[in-house]
Every structure is written in C-alpha cells, then in structure tokens.
Amino acid sequence: MSRGTIVPIGGAEERLRDPAILQRFADLCGGRKARIAIIPTASQLAETGPGYEKVFRDLGVGATRSLPLETREDCNDPRWLDRLERAQGVFLTGGNQLRLSTTIGGTRVAEILRRRNAEDGLHIAGTSAGAAFLSEHMIAFGEEGPTPHADMVTLAPGLGLTKTAIIDQHFRQRDRLGRLLTALAYNPRPIGIGLDEDTAAFIGPDDRLEVQGSGAITIVDPSDLSYSSMDSAKQAEAVCMLDIRLHILIEGATYDIQTREATAPAQQPSRLPETAETRPEPQEVRSQ
C-alpha cells in the first residue's frame, strides 16, 4: 500500500457546529467501519482524550479509543501497541509538542506510527502541538512577530512522517511568520507550512496538499533563496532573506510539494448584477 495521508491542523478546529475537517478525516479512515486511536499525550487535561472519543463517535466512527500514553513505559506497553497496529487512523491532540517528543520519541509507538504511515496506509492527523510534531524537524517553541531574528526559534526532532515540510500552527492568530522564516533560514531545504486555526492540510501520498477549513494556509517556499544573513546574524538581530516565495491558500486550493506549484481553488460562476443590458425583456401576459 501507499503512504497514508498526513493531516496537520492549525488548532481550535470546529468540533460541534460544522466539524468538516474531523468529518473528512473520519471518512478517510473508513467512516462507520473506521478504527481511530487518539493520542492525548501533548495535553495534561484528563478530559482531552475522552472529549475527542465523543467527537468521533458523534461523527459515526465505529470504534475510537484514547490511549493513555503518559510515560515512556506506556509507549512500549503491548496493549497500546496492539491498538496502534490495528488502527486505521491516529489522531494526536493539542497541548505541548515537547511532551510528545520527549514521551513518544524513540519508543515503539513512534516506530509503529512511522512504519504504518509509510507502508500500511495509516492516516495520521494532529492538531496544534500534534500538527507541529508530525514533521522531521519540529518547532519546539519560539517568539512571535513577522520578522525573522537569530535565535527566534528552537527546533527539536519530530515524529518524522515527512522531511519535506516544517509545520507551524495558530499561525495568523499568533503572528508566527517570523519564527517559520527563521526555522527555514537554518536550512532552506523543506517548505514552511503555516496553519491558521480551524484549517487543515490534507497531504496525500503523492505529496499533494489540499486545504480545508475556515482560515488559510501560508506556504513559504525557500527553494529560490539567493541570500540569507543567518550565518552572521548576532543574537536577536533581524535576518535578511532574499527571493522567498510565499503563497496564501484557502479552502479548495492545492499545493504540490514536489514541484512547488500552487493552484487556486476552482472558481464558481459569479452572477452579474442586473443592468439595462442584462435585464431580460418583459414578457406580455395574456389572459386565458
């Protein structure tokens, strides 16, 4: 089988009135026949896992279970490993991404998620901290602001489902363009994906990204970067970066990560306002 879909979500996704993102993920995993495992490790709130269990049950998922992976010992427990081996989808909740990397990194859970996503078509979604954790290089924490600065962001190893992107969340709401640019300035090989809240990137096995949600996704493409002052910038000094490409994608837009080509959403025919030229001629009404 091909690689499963990777679904980073920008956080604060709609769960009650119109949970379109979670519904699409549930349908992708099999709908009523799906088995979805929830990993609430990033959160320290006891209600997080059960809360998502209810959300997915309300969406018609046949079997959903929150796995209590609170320690590294839990991440090698055969009970939870068996659940992951049989799951068709895995959902990582929000919270603190360093709790994910320090608890799950290097365990059997991480090995199973990488292997099954790459080889068995296991679909994996993550919201907020869970989204940041999906890529090879994870933004652990950083400062807010639109301008990149030296030492503005700290990177840590992530789950490693993709090497082609660095993901940031709550993007527009928390003014995080500068820290995403800083992360890319360290090594401009991957693209940057900045996710607004209630917005998701459905990244298929062909690395084609589709946008869904009420916000936007900012794509930062450094492949044509011609100059960066990161190597000489002093602590907290602004960084100069030339020839960066940037795309703002809304629902229905796509982006090919391999070819670095963006496509606008399909346009619906617009209705022109009536004018003297476009208004239809009145028809004579005859009595019967």
The residues annotated with a catalytic role in the active site are: 128, 170, 197
Q: Do the beta carbons of residue 2 and residue 158 sit within 8 Å?
A: no
CA 288 to chain CA centroid, Å, is 64
Joined together, the tokens standing for residue 102 give 């320090």
Please list, in sequence order, all residues whose beta carbon lies within 8 angstroms of the beta carbon of residue 253, skipping any fewer than 6 positions away. 210, 211, 217, 262, 263, 264, 265
- Classify residue 165 as exposed, middle or buried by CB count within 10 Å of its CB (0-12, 13-18, 19+): buried
Specify which residues 187 forms β-bridges with. none
Joined together, the tokens standing for residue 125 give 């979604």
CA 178 to chain CA centroid, Å, is 18
Specify which residues 91 forms β-bridges with. 38, 125
Please list, in sequence order, all residues whose beta carbon lies within 8 angstroms of the beta carbon of residue 58, skipping any fewer than 6 positions away. none
**Separation of alpha carbons 139 and 157, rounded Å:** 9
Tell me the three-class secondary structure of 118-178, residue by residue.
HHCCCEEEEECHHHHCCECEEEEEECCCCCCECCCEEEEECCCCECCEEEECCCCCCCCHH
